[in-house]
Amino acid sequence: MKRERSIWSDNHSPENFRSEYPEFSMFSLLRETALKYPDYTALEFQNKKISYSQMIEQIELVAQSLLANNIKKGDYVSIVSPNMPQALIMVYAVNRIGAIANMIHPLLSSAEIKDFVERVDSAAILTPDIVYPKFTQINFDTSRKPLMIVARVADALPFYAKPVYAIKNKQKPEFNSSHNVIYWNDFLKQGKAREKALPPDDGKGDDIAAILYSGGTTGIPKGVMIHNRAFNAMAVQAEEIKRDNTKDAAGKKALAVMPVFHGFGLAMCMHVMLYFGMHVFLVPKFDFKVCADLIFKKKINHVYAVPALFEALSRTVDIEKKDLSFIEMIAFSGDKCSEKLLNRMNYYLKKGGSSEQMTEAYGLTECLSAACISPFFAHKKGSTGLPLPGNEIKICKVGTKEELPRGEDGEICITGPTQMKGYYKNEIETNLALQEHDDGKKWLHTGDIGYMDEDGYLYYRQRHCKMIITSGYNVYPTQIEEVINECNGVVLSCVVGIPDRTLGQRIIAVVQPVSMDADLDELRKKIFEKCKNNVADFAIPKEIVFRDVLPKTVMGKVNFKALEKEMSNK
């Protein structure tokens, strides 16, 4: 797929840019970088470093191990893990043999994990020992017993940290006897013992690389099929939008706190940064103190995260006294950032000696997380910026293909090389999301509302449906409501998100009980217990409020907007 010049290339020299998007595997693009910078550090996890050449060696060894277990091109491998070297190496190893990575959030409930594994008929599952307990009660209904690869966290640590970790984590998981379990290191031995050479890496741009999960425009999680071209195109797009002071990005340091199972995390924070030859720090979970320590002690040059991190960072007592001159790129996505926070962070950045300003991006999983970003050459207040090079955005009248004039609110529609291939085994939803317009192009109808100004800048208004974003994670209220409504003593429920300085949004469940005279404390306990067993940890409501009746719209639907307003004003 050829690339065309854009407003981005007109603002600094494009002579080193690719003329076409890479039509090969994600692994091939990473290998290109490794050949340029074999001795540079690719990954760092808990102070243990892996060079680019070592990373390629480990990926190819894992690829051999997969083949030794008869896992082949076209098979699905589920990765249920936080940010760990084994998880990212597995993503590329799966890609190396032409298989497909099925990326699952490790904090989901056992029932949700089971569903996502079975949806694609996984041939294998990778999960760390700290997550495996979620699997103990799962008996998979797949065409063949999936290989359960358990990675010990200790194996990813430097030698001096292993004894300390072992003392703090003495529990050894009890395996489900129906599972075909193998530890990571034993799995690698199988690859070493395989005598055949790896087959050629013949991955094509249009081959599916990963399944990422999204609620799309309906709020019901669906598997988003992302091809190699999308991942590689995003790397090329990012190269064109870089600031001039990051032209030589190889060896620079990047923070990867966004998760590997998330489009923004896997694509922008990992694949793109590795394409640049950067030193990527993997952070297994969002912990403000850990992130702050890394940023200041390691002098991280590129920081990509959700606004919650910057909210916490901006409120540390001594940030005003910190040297921030090492920060060359600082960007956020996944949620709106208040003008107060933007101004506060930009003040600290300038005072700390950085020439960078906070950069906002807009996107969604269906276009691999980022579709547009604020340009370095002309930022506009309140705007999420311009389409990434190669992307096009237009605003259509909701529910139609009719393009609206500039300045009018409507549905944000996107086309470009990072667009998903479709939803896994869901043709109806795919056809609703991807629609061919009169120009012959397929446009992604996002369901999000916004407008564009005369210069082509996008102004995002609100997320689709009722989706809640808490700590950067997407939460779909309808799923939680279904769980709550199953509880004895509940008539109806409505889950809303209200603004929260730390979380972004705090989840509250408003519940109509059968009787307000019932033991509501006991009912509250039952609801929390039900949620604990059936929804992800981050999606469990922080508060349950009882109402004798829930407000309705004129159409007879629960008026969640009224409840959001009421709960926000409590």
Task: Return the bridge partners of 45, or none.
Answer: 48
242, pLDDT greater than 60: yes
Provide the pLDDT confidence category of residue 245 given band limits of 50, 70 and 90.
Answer: very low
CB of 432 within 8 A of CB of 400? no
Q: How far, in Å, are 140, 187, 358, 403 from residue 178 at the CA level?
A: 9, 18, 50, 55
Which residue shows structure tokens 């071209």? 229
Distance, first Cα to last Cα, the chain? 53
What architecture is the 472-568 domain classified under in CATH?
A: 2-Layer Sandwich (3.30)
Q: Cβ of 432: how many Cβ atoms within 10 Å?
A: 15
Most distant pair of Cα atoms in the chain: their distance:
73
Tokens found for residue 363: 């996107």
Burial class (CB in 10 A: 0-12, 13-18, 19+), 193: exposed
- Domain parsing of the chain, residue ranges: 27-32+46-203, 472-568
Dihedral of CA 112/115/120/124: which sign?
positive
pLDDT digits (tens, 9 = 90+) for 161-215: 777 666 666 667 788 888 999 999 999 999 999 999 999 999 999 999 999 998 6
pLDDT digits (tens, 9 = 90+) for 284-318: 988 888 899 999 999 999 999 887 788 778 777 58
Among 60, 111, 369, CA closest to 238: 369
Which stretch of 5-19, 124-138, 415-429, 477-491 has the lowest confidence by average pLDDT? Answer: 5-19
442, pLDDT greater than 90: yes
Task: Return the bridge partners of 51, or none.
Answer: 41
Query: Which fold is adopted by the domain 27-32+46-203?
Result: Rossmann fold (3.40.50)
Among 298, 263, 261, 296, CA closest to 279: 298
pLDDT digits (tens, 9 = 90+) for 513-540: 989 999 999 999 999 999 999 999 999 9
Q: How far, in Å, are 114, 163, 184, 488 from residue 102 at the CA level?
A: 12, 33, 18, 35
HEC string for 272-313: HHHHCCCEEEECCCCCHHHHHHHHHHCCCCEEEECHHHHHHH
Q: Which element (helix H / strand E) includes 224? A: strand 222-227
So what's the pLDDT on residue 199?
A: 95
pLDDT digits (tens, 9 = 90+) for 43-65: 999 999 999 999 999 999 999 99
Q: How far, in Å, are 14, 22, 72, 84, 271 from residue 30 at the CA level?
A: 21, 12, 21, 18, 8
CB of 507 within 8 A of CB of 541? yes
Mean pLDDT of 241-253: 74
66, pLDDT greater than 80: yes
